[in-house]
Chain A
Amino acid sequence: MKKTMHVGLTALMAAFVLAGCSSVPLDDKSNVPVETRNTTGTGSGTGANTGGTGQSGVTPVDLTKGGQNAGLGKVVYFDFDSYVLKDEYRPLVDSFAKSLTADRKKKVVVEGHTDERGGREYNLALGQKRAESVTKALALLGATDSQIEAVSFGKERPAVQGSDEAAWAKNRRAELVYR
């Protein structure tokens, strides 16, 4: 008797579970109302995991918005007269390197910049050094040469207008751009 009940209960539970997991075709044309049980990645935002989906929740990963390094940005800042890659930017560089090693068709251009002080050509070369600091780090982390290029805009393309330290600090930078 116990065994029968056990089997019956199992069958019942199975029936419930199966009923719950029945897949509903999204293009059902029979006008039967469709109940969508899960939200999968529809391109918006990271971490849009609605917790209430229980055992079948899926967290979307949006590569188109650089979501892989969400919150890390794509700009590295430098001290005056320096092209040293500071530790605080290692996670950002790491995340780009991971993306490049995961997909060998991806390419990144690193654009180096300086603040407005000093000569144009010398600053072009300083910006180049900043860009190369970043590409060297990417290469050490596994990116191949053909995936990375370092270029410079020198002082020709400031991010922020102004002639004070606040503006200068925002212009001494390298930007990582997928191309």
Chain B
Amino acid sequence: MIVIVPDSTTRSTMHNIRRLAQHRSARSSGFFHAAFGSLLLIAAALFSSKASAQFRVEISGVGATQLPIAITKFRDEERATPSLSISAIVRADLERSGVFKGIDAPGALDENSQPVMTEWRGRAADALVAGSITRLADGRFDIRFKLWDVVKGTPLGGQSTAVEAGDLRLAAHRISDYIYEKLTGEKGVFSTRIAYVTKGGGRFTLRVADADGEGGQVALNSAEPIISPAWSPDGKQLAYVSFESQKAVVYTQDTASGARRSIANFRGSNSAPAWSPDGQTLAVTLSRDGGSQLYLIGRDGGTPRRLTTSSAIDTEPAFSPDGRSIYFVSDRGGGPQIYRIATGGGNVERVTFGGSYNISPAVSPDGRTLAYISRQGNAFRLYTQDLAGNGQPQALTDTSDDESPSFAPNGKLIIYASRAAGRDVLMTTTLDGKIKARLVSTTADVREPVWGPYGR
């Protein structure tokens, strides 16, 4: 086969194209369209694809192996749900994952249609989604959809569900999850939630929103700073640090009921809460014995057990997914670097070696990748590093005010805070740094994002 590529195409891109070609040669006229289209775009700089203005999703970057998918407007979508577009939410979800490229899909189809596959192949789509929304007599909405493999010309599946108005967004995200899993074999994260802190007008809030940044609800409203939110593994609680009593105190709060308790309010500062994977213990930074050291404390508070014993700053603990070790930041070697210690205590092993300032560790759900923030000159930038063997640090961004990385529960995306045009914003990125999305919210400054677990 002959594929035309620009001179600037990298070796790895060529490798990916060959690999994909072998993998998909059986099915594949659609592949050539996609590869050729993608290569032309690689020659261009970045492109941005905007979904409808209502959602203001800003996605940039291009990947060599994106699957082109057409999602038509669901029948009656504009009439039944004028305030939101299920099809646009699904398209934005799939594009943000970095795995899909949305194809414009005019026309009126629904889940009962018999689409003409040659027409969709002509539009360079490999997959097609169509559906309908009907308002029921009891005020709920009946949402149905079907997914087709355009290359093979066969339906892959579909669903129908009835939901209340308040769950329309969640229903759209569940459709995205279904499509993502059918076509990639991986679990989608579109119906998960994030938490983050806002600052504006002299007030601070801790908010919970959908993973696309929409639908934010206030969990805590305060005149004093809130920092370091952390989801419990079951997604029911948030731990955080509040300065409401003029010092740093760790609280846990049930998001559904708002019930909260302070679990670490010892002498001095109490901060950096991190939940163990079984949800029973939190690692925290306490200054009760002088300095900043790591301790373990039960989820209901109580007497802490000291974990680190250095005269340096030890802070920002993060459990490994198997709960057996804790990554943390220490400046025992001069400047802040990331180290690892067994949860039961013992030897401390250094993990980061590049540069003089590495903080904010986050471990991927499979335990194999470390994300963190590294200071390079005057810039604070998001990096990843393989944890097995001699992982080399990889920069994921070229921005200079990155902070607070957090993995999605499927390990395929990282959410982080950054600065754009003088404002603090939330971003997601694929692990190779190629596809980025800005989660646009209407509040002034947003920071400290954390990605919640599966399940609601």
Contact = CB atoms under 8 A, between A and B. Distances in A.
A110 B292 CA distance: 16
A122 B317 CA distance: 11
A154 B269 CA distance: 10
Interface of B: 225, 227-228, 243, 246-248, 267-269, 271-272, 285, 287, 290-292, 313, 315-316, 329, 331, 336, 357, 359-360, 373, 375, 380, 403, 448
16 contacts: A118-B359, A119-B380, A121-B271, A122-B329, A124-B271, A125-B287, A125-B292, A125-B313, A128-B268, A128-B269, A132-B287, A151-B247, A151-B268, A152-B248, A152-B287, A153-B243
Contacts of B313: 122, 125-126, 129
A128 B291 contact: yes
Given A129-B291, A149-B267, A120 B228 contact: yes
A128 B287 contact: yes
B271 A156 contact: no
A149 B268 contact: yes
Contacts of A150: 268, 287
Contacts of B287: 125, 128, 132, 150, 152
Contact of B315 (A111, A118, A121, A156): A121
A150 B246 CA distance: 11
Interface in A118-140: 118-122, 124-126, 128-129, 132
A152 B269 contact: yes
B246 A151 contact: yes
Interface of A: 109, 111, 118-122, 124-126, 128-129, 132, 149-154, 156-157
B269 A124 contact: yes
Contact of A119 (B243, B269, B373): B373
A121 B313 CA distance: 10
Label chain B's interface by main secondary structure.
Answer: strand
At the interface, is chain A mostly helix, strand, loop or mixed?
A: mixed
A129 B375 CA distance: 21
B69 to A, nearest CB: 39
B403 A120 contact: yes
B145 to A, nearest CB: 42
A102 to B, nearest CB: 24
B85 to A, nearest CB: 37
Residue of B243, B248, B336, B360 with most chain A CB atoms under a 10 A cut-off: B248
Contacts of B360: 119, 121
Contacts of A126: 313
Given A119-B359, A121-B228, A125-B315, 6 more contacts: A121-B285, A122-B313, A122-B331, A128-B292, A149-B267, A152-B248
B195 to A, nearest CB: 15
Closest 7 CB pairs of A and B: A125-B292, A151-B247, A156-B225, A125-B313, A119-B359, A121-B272, A152-B269
A151 B315 contact: no
B372 to A, nearest CB: 10
A119 B403 contact: yes
A85 to B, nearest CB: 16
Given A118-B380, A122-B316, A125-B292, A151 B329 contact: no
Contacts of B373: 119
A122 B285 contact: no
B375 to A, nearest CB: 7
Contacts of A156: 225, 227, 243
A121 B336 CA distance: 11
Contact of B329 (A121, A149, A157): A121
B273 to A, nearest CB: 10
A76 to B, nearest CB: 18
A124 B285 CA distance: 10
A175 to B, nearest CB: 11
B291 A132 contact: yes
A128 B290 CA distance: 9
A153 B225 contact: yes
A112 to B, nearest CB: 9
B49 to A, nearest CB: 33
B453 to A, nearest CB: 22
A111 B248 CA distance: 11
B290 A125 contact: no
B294 to A, nearest CB: 11
Contacts of B247: 109, 149, 151-152
Nearest to B448: A120
A10 to B, nearest CB: 65
Contacts of B268: 128, 149-152
B380 A120 contact: no
